[in-house]
Amino acid sequence: MIFSDFLKALAQLSDRRFLKVVAFGIALSFALLFAVYAGFVQIVDWLTPDTLTLPWVGEVTWVQDLLGWGSILLMIGLSVFLMVPVASAFTGLFLDDVAQAVEKRHYPDLPSAPRLAWMDALIDSVNFFGVLVVVNVVALILYAFVGPFAPLMFWAVNGYLLGREYFQMAAMRRIGRQGARDLRRRFSGQIWIAGMLMAAPLSLPLVNLVIPVLGAATFTHLFHRLNAKAAT
């Protein structure tokens, strides 16, 4: 059933409202990553001398160049982890548009849901961004100790967080914040599995820019299915 929710979301990816959110998410994500990279390079430039004298070697003038190229490789590697909170937090600001597009096509008999207040959506996105950053920074340290199981840990941790947050955001549009919490607790296992299926492709560069939109759509379908099941 979770796969059917995802396939429905995937089939709607060409919807212009989906594409609008994808475009905004990509632009904002790259803007923030570029700002982080520029700040990192500036700090390296401040802390690194123009020349460095080494025993038996003499003056070395290419240290900054080496660190500059190294910082590019570092940011490319870290972008796999950084893009998870960045893309997801930004896309969260536009989740309402995705959910409305899904409901208009697949649930046309439903009355229109009130839009979340922009400030509430911003606060939720910022809080979610902060939690994801902190958890993934801690996880980066732990990955060194789990060896080949690091991808599984990445999927499990981010799957739980993404599932929890995206289901909450999709559900509270219809049944309020407390109702969303109660429904999430009742079906926590399915929501975690759905979150892991969303987190797995988030580890792929470029693909991870589209997944938050598909995730928002998938969890909209998941909410309506679980809410109907809970009502029976």
pLDDT of the chain, 232 residues: tens digit per residue: 788 999 999 999 888 888 888 787 777 777 777 776 677 666 666 655 555 454 554 454 544 554 555 555 666 666 666 666 666 666 667 778 889 999 999 999 998 887 777 677 777 777 777 777 788 778 778 877 888 888 888 888 888 888 888 898 889 889 988 999 999 999 999 999 999 988 888 777 777 778 888 888 999 999 999 999 998 8
SS3 assignment for 126-142:
HHHHHHHHHHHHHHHHH
Number of residues that make up the chain: 232
Residue 12 and residue 105 in contact, taking contact as beta carbons nearer than 8 Å: yes
Burial (CB count within 10 angstroms: exposed 0-12, middle 13-18, buried 19+), residue 156 = middle
Query: H-type helices in the chain, by residue range?
Result: 2-11, 16-47, 63-92, 95-106, 118-146, 150-186, 188-199, 211-231
Type of residue numbered 69: W
What is the reported pLDDT for 127?
A: 77
Query: Does the reported pTM lie above 0.85?
Result: no
Q: Is 152 helix (H, G, I), strand (E, B) or coil?
A: helix
Number of Cβ within 10 Å of residue 146's Cβ equals 13
- Inter-CA distances, 9 with 17, 62, 216, Å: 12, 50, 9
Type of residue numbered 99: A
Q: How many distinct structural domains can be found in the chain?
A: 1
- Inter-CA distances, 215 with 51, 82, 103, 142, Å: 49, 17, 15, 26
Best CA proximity match to 39, nearest among 71, 66, 8: 71
Please write the tens of the pLDDT for every residue from 71-104. 556 666 666 666 666 666 666 677 788 899 999 9
Identify any residues that bridge with 53 across adjacent strands, giving them in sequence order: 59
Domain span including residue 120: 2-231
